[in-house]
């Protein structure tokens, strides 16, 4: 317990994630509270703030303290009047879905497809699906600092200073092709808004100084400037390495949880193991890394921080 703030940060024990107790996020954070949250996310990568009661506006205001909120290029299921807040849900009203029903259901890093990469994604659970008294629809996280640290030296050498190309359409089309997602194909305007971008494969984390592996099977297409067969083999190795059980933390949701994760440190995956009569309702606000990365480097050249 911190004397100054009354906040208790309780690590999960898995090497990733902590519970942050004693904060009411409906009220603006003061500087000391903000610093405690930033230090906790730098140390633990995923933070759970239990038992919150928030309006969408309050979710937006809390999230905004950590970076500029993103308006998702999918353009669907935005909170009316507050497009930075998106609704994730399998609930239907009058035969129409109230939210995106299958967000994030395979390993990915939010917004690695974006010129300005994401720092945090902030999800607030209003309804958690249940069966036989157990929560469904968990979210899994894998620790990319641990994944980097445990890479063989020759692979570390191979990826040092390299970039990979990430493409929004890779995940979107995978969901349509392999998971029967009802999402429509991207329009030409959506594709033009999010063209493929390059990011370093190794980041030096701006908060912790640790090296992290910045690659994910959701969006990473190929290693730039590398023979395609060699790139395919290298990415296949990284994609297998990075999701080993020893790096994974599972978040089982409780209604009222606010979950905030660091996309520079983790990859994640939503588990769609619940049915249409088991309602899930989550509101989300994700913020860019424009506040935490050195000025002007939040985009392609988060690389600047790699060599810093
Ligand atoms: C996301 C996401 C996971 C979940 O919103 O980016 O991956 O469990 N969501 O809903
Ligand atoms: Mn996601």
Given ligand 1 and candidates 63, 76, 121, which is best to mutate, with the most ligand atoms within 8 Å of its CB? 121
Measured in Å, residue 262 CA sits from the centre of ligand 1 at 13
**Any atom of ligand 1 within 6 Å of the Cβ of 105:** no
Measured in Å, residue 103 CA sits from the centre of ligand 2 at 7
**Any atom of ligand 1 within 6 Å of the Cβ of 40:** no
What are the residues whose beta carbons fall under 8 Å from the beta carbon of 181, sequence distance 6 or more? Answer: 102, 175
Nearest atom of ligand 1 to the alpha carbon of 271: 8
pLDDT band at residue 145, thresholds of 50, 70 and 90? very high
Measured in Å, residue 269 CA sits from the centre of ligand 1 at 7
Confidence (pLDDT) at 308: 29
Least confident range of 4-8, 79-83, 182-186:
4-8
* Tokens coding 225: 């400037």
CATH architecture, range 8-288: 4-Layer Sandwich (3.60)
What does the domain layout of the chain look like in residue ranges? 8-288
Closest to 116 measured CA to CA, from 292, 307, 306, 308: 292
Query: For the chain, how are helix, strand and coil distributed in percent, rounded to 5?
Result: 25, 30, 45
Nearest atom of ligand 1 to the alpha carbon of 137: 8
The residue contributing the CA closest to ligand 1 atom 2 is: 104
The DSSP call for residue 300 is G
Confidence (pLDDT) at 74: 82
Reported as a single tens digit per residue, the pLDDT across 189-227 is: 999 989 999 999 999 999 999 999 999 999 999 999 999
pTM of the model: 0.94
């Amino acid at each position: 317990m911190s004397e100054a703030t009354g906040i208790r940060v309780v690590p999960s024990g898995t090497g990733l994630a902590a519970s942050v107790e004693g904060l009411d996020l409906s009220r603006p954070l003061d500087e000391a509270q903000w610093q405690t949250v930033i230090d906790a996310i730098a140390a633990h990568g995923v933070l759970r703030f239990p038992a919150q009661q928030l309006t969408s506006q309050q979710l937006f205001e809390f999230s905004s303290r950590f970076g500029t909120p993103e308006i998702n290029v999918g353009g669907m299921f935005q909170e009316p009047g507050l497009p930075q807040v998106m609704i994730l849900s399998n609930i239907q009203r009058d035969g129409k879905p109230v939210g995106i029903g299958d967000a994030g259901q395979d390993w990915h890093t939010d917004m690695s497809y974006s010129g300005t990469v994401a720092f945090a994604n902030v999800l607030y659970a209003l309804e958690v699906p249940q069966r036989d008294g157990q929560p469904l629809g968990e979210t899994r996280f894998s620790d990319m600092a641990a994944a980097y640290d445990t890479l063989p030296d020759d692979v570390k050498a191979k990826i040092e200073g390299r970039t990979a190309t990430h493409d929004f359409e890779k995940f979107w089309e995978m969901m349509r092709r392999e998971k029967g997602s009802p999402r429509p194909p991207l329009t030409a305007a959506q594709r033009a808004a999010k063209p493929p971008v390059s990011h370093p494969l190794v980041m030096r984390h701006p908060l912790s100084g640790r090296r992290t592996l910045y690659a994910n099977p959701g969006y990473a297409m190929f290693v730039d400037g590398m023979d395609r067969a060699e790139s395919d083999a290298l990415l296949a190795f990284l994609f297998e390495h990075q999701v080993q059980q020893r790096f994974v933390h599972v978040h089982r949701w409780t209604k009222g949880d606010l979950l905030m994760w660091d996309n520079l440190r983790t990859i994640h995956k939503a588990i769609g193991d619940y049915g249409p009569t088991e309602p899930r309702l989550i509101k989300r606000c994700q913020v860019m890394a424009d506040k935490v990365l050195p000025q002007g480097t939040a985009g392609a050249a988060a690389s600047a921080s790699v060599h810093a």
